[in-house]
Every structure is written in C-alpha cells, then in structure tokens.
Amino acid sequence: MPLLRAATLAALGAMMLAGPGKPEGSPQVLPAQTIKSVPTSKKLIAFTFDDGPNRRYTPKVLALLAQHHAHATFFVIGQEVVRCPDVIQSIKNAGMEIGNHGLHHRWLRKMTPGAVKEDVTGGADAIVAAGGPKPYLYRLPAALSDDVSRSVLGTLRYTIVSWSVDTRDWRRGISTDRIVKTVLHDAAPGRIVIMHDGPAHREATLAALAQVLPALEGQGYRIVSVGELLRNSEFAAQRAIPPSAARPIAKPKPRPHSRGWLQSIWLRRIG
C-alpha cells in the first residue's frame, strides 16, 4: 500500500509539472537558447551587422563583403525594413543571411509576453513582406532580456545571437583604428563579431571593415554568416536551424591567394 501511494503521488506530481491542459506527450517549449560563439576547429568567424537596412551604408557593406567573398548576417529593424524594402532585396540577392532585430528596437526586458511577441513578430512580418525569408535568428536590442522574453522567443522558435567580439562601433567618434584592433585582437575560430550598418555615422565601420576582411583572410579565416557557422559546428543550437534547402547560403566563390595582412540611442547603445 505505501508503494502504491508513493507511485500515485509521483504520477500526480508529474502531471502538475506538465501544466494544466497540456496534452500527454506534447513537446516542452524551452526558452530561446543564446549563443555568443561556437566550438569549432575550423577557422571560421561570423560577422553580423545591426540596425539596418540603410540605403547609405548597407550597399557599401555588401560591396566590401562581395569583394572578399565573405558572408554575414544582417539583423534588421522592422521599421527600417518598411522604409527601404529594396535594401532587403539587395541583402537577400547577395546571398547574405537576414535575422530579426525587432520591429522598433525595443528592449525586451520587463516587457509583457504580449508586447514581446508583438515586437518580435512585427519585425519578422516586415522582413517577409519585403520579400525576405522568415527569420529564425534574433538579436536582442542592447542585449537585454529576462525569463519572459526568452520564453516567448523560445515559443517562436528563435535562437538568440549575442556576440563575442564587440567592436563598439556604435559609439560616436570611435576611430577606425580602434575597431580594427578590437577585431584582430579578439578574433578566434567560432567567434561572432558585431558591427552596425545603420542608422548613421558608419564611416569608421566601413573603413575598418575594408581593413579587417583582408587581414583575417590573410590569417586563413573564412568570414561566414551565423547560420553557416552553426552548420559547421557541433553546437546544440543546430536544432533551431532550418534545413539548408529551406535557408540557402550562397556558396563562396574561389578565394584568391592570401594577400597578407528608439530606444536606438539613449544613455548607451550596445546592439
């Protein structure tokens, strides 16, 4: 009798943990996973660009990437997508990856579940309406989140992409030399670099990008999108990556021989 009672209590406890109204055997929804870098033995490094699209700067970033046969992930803001949907087409046609940076670049921490979902899905809807693919990667504005926002993002099947090389190129007055030194000092296989292609004052970013791309190439690195980085690793976030047939990544062209070396802006701007 004691054994039966214990088993019954255990079963009831399991039912309570499963939550009310959940069908038996239904998959558990986990909070969105956050990645800053991935373990890999290959000399791959992912470049990401936030806060676009921007008609002035995004095409120049794309041109530099194309010049060095590099790929990247562009985390775009929905309201900017609405302003210049043609730039989304340019990003897509260049074979780059498009991620979600929210509809209004709102900090998700301390927001209600409904507000989080509205901003995240609004950003995704803007991308799709402009002819882009449905995004599966999300970048948190200012890197701010909490249990609620991560849970909502998990329900929406996103992987949160943070960074491990912070150029801080959003700072007004930052020098090209400082950005270059940061990237080259912190670069390592599997790391993720954050830069910005919008909304303004990106001349230093462009000048730095023109230097770091050939420098990393000379060190044997290949510049890739976040999705490509994940597909070339054993990282657990691969569970959130659609099949390559659903999310094609342009094949790199043959590489030449190495040549050697709004809450948008408040008290601070992180991402």
Catalytic, out of 68, 101, 105, 196: 196
Question: Tokens at residue 40, please?
Answer: 């890999």
147 is known as an active-site residue: no
What lies within 8 Å, CB to CB, of 92 at 6+ separation is: 98, 131, 132, 133
125 is known as an active-site residue: no
Catalytic, out of 50, 51, 119, 197: 50
Contact, 101 vs 123, CB < 8 A?
Answer: yes
Question: Tokens at residue 17, please?
Answer: 């943990």
Contact, 263 vs 106, CB < 8 A?
Answer: yes
Beta pairing, strands 222-224 & 165-166: unpaired
Which of 110, 237, 261, 123 has the alpha carbon at shortest distance from 183?
A: 261
Catalytic (active-site) positions: 50, 196
